[in-house]
Structure formats: C-alpha cells, structure tokens
Amino acid sequence: MDVVSENRCFGGVQTVYKHRSATCGVDMTFAVYLPPDAEEGPVPVLWYLSGLTCTHENAMTKGGFQEHAAEYGLALVFPDTSPRGEEVANDEAYDLGQGAGFYVNATQAPWKPHFRMYDYVVDELRQELPKVQPFSGAHGITGHSMGGHGALTIALRNPGLFHSLSAFAPIANPTQSDWGRKQFSAYLGDDEAVWADYDATILLGEKGWKGDILIDQGTSDQFIDLLRPQALAEAMASRRQPGVVRLQEGYDHSYFFVSTFAGDHVRWHAERLHNAGRA
C-alpha cells in the first residue's frame, strides 16, 4: 500500500493510496478521509462511488463531503471507477472503457481480464481498508450517476455488508436505458437475463432493502431520461419500500448538485451507522 498524498482536512486527514489489485490485475488508486474522531478509535465508513469519466479525485475535491464527515464522525472511501493503464482495454467513447466500469464483473473480451469493479468494491478493497485504519463494522454506501447505480446494486445484492444506502441521480434502470444497454452488451454479452443483476429497479422489486433509502434527483438534470428515476420510484412504491425520492427543483447533474446535498446524505448515513454500531 503506497501513500500517494496526505493532507490535513477539517481536523482529519485526507489520504490517497495506490495498491496492486489482484482482482483487476493492475495498480488501483483510492482515497480515504479520516475524521478527527478516528484518532480516538474505530469509526463507521461511508463509501462514495463516482460516475462516468471520474476518478477517485472528483468527489474527493468537488463533493464537499469531508466537512460533514468530520462533523458526524464518519470515514469516507472514494474508489476509482475502473481499472486503468496501457494494458487495460479502452474505447473512444466516454461512456465505455476506462472511467466507465459500471461496477460490473465483465465476462466478455476485451474487458474480462481487468473490468471487475463489482468484486473490487465488494471484496478486495473492503479487505484492504483495515491496512489503512481500523474501522467499525458499520458501513454505508452512496454514489452519483453511474456510481449511484453501483451503490444501489451492490447494497441490494449484499445487505449483510451495508447498513445504510443512498444515491445522487443514479442510473436507476440501466437495462432500459442507453446508459446501460450499450455497456452491459459490451461487458456482459447479449443475455439480458444476466443484466438484471446490475439493475437497481429490478433488484429492488425482487429483493427490497432492509432499511430506508434516500435518493436525490435534480429536476433540471440534463440526463434525467437516461437515469429513469421514475422507474425506481415506481418499484419502491409497488414494493412499499421505505424511503424517499426527492426531486430537487432546478438542480442539474453536476457536482454543484452533489455538493449542495452532500451534508444531508452524510447526516442521514451517520444517524443509521452510529445506531448500527451501538446495536
């Protein structure tokens, strides 16, 4: 585990790490924010999964999460969105290849050898975190756009690993969207039954979630037709899933939107994670 950078931030420490990933077969970079409370003992962890074209750095520098995490005593984890490097397959399009891992385990060439972001987040990086700092057993997960899709699908498929769940403008129904069908066909092949494991709307309808869910979506989001928040809201209503889809008037898809509501999400997760830690 190599330290790439380390900076004091709101009384805590923001660190970027690099390590060799056995899952992805290349060096991977991720960031961890430790709040001041981490100096006194283990703290809960909030995972943030980023969207298309992002690295670990975008939300770390633009999301505004650290101030709120310091206040509420949460650690933050910012993984990358895909494997990277000359040996890693790529595409000229911004929404496929490097920067667009979609948090799946690819089964098709040329993506299969490296694009295993689902296993990387669920298994490998979670096992690597104790090398950084001892954390409590309470983990929450959130994300934006493609990362919101990742947060929802990973939590819904692994309810034993996460105690709280939210998302910012997630790609909510990718099997019915051009932000999904294109990538799933490339990464997973043409069997749409396989795609269902990576569709939050389908998973929620089949499995539900053990707690409540917080979703924020801007009404002026330029990609709202690709995100399909209405499908997720309908699935929540049909299943009578506790939670809320908040339509935020005038907000778009940018980090200005994310940073505006970052405090709400951190506080929301903190309430659930600290209670989980006392259970």
Q: Mind listing the pLDDT tens digit for each residue in 227-249?
A: 999 999 999 999 999 999 999 99
> At residue 14, does pLDDT exceed 80?
yes
Average pLDDT along the chain: 97
How far is residue 97's CA from residue 257's CA, in Å, rounded to a whole number?
Answer: 26
- Between the two ends of the chain, the Cα-to-Cα distance in Å is 32
Q: Is the peptide bond before 110 cis (omega within 30 degrees of 0)?
A: yes
- Between CA 43 and CA 74 the distance in angstroms is 6
| Of the candidates 79, 57, 94, the residue with the CA atom closest to the CA atom of residue 142 | 79
243-248 β-sheet, strand order? 2-9, 12-20, 27-34, 75-79, 45-49, 139-143, 164-168, 213-218, 243-248
Q: What is the pLDDT of residues 109-154, one digit of tens each?
A: 999 999 999 999 999 999 999 999 889 999 999 999 999 999 999 9
Catalytic residues: 145, 221, 253
Q: What average pLDDT does the segment 189-195 reach?
A: 97
**Distance separating alpha carbons of residues 204 and 209, to the nearest angstrom:** 7
Q: In the predicted model, is pLDDT for residue 278 greater than 70?
A: no
Report d(CA 179, CA 246) in Å as an integer: 22
Instruction: Kindly report the pTM of this predicted structure.
Output: 0.97
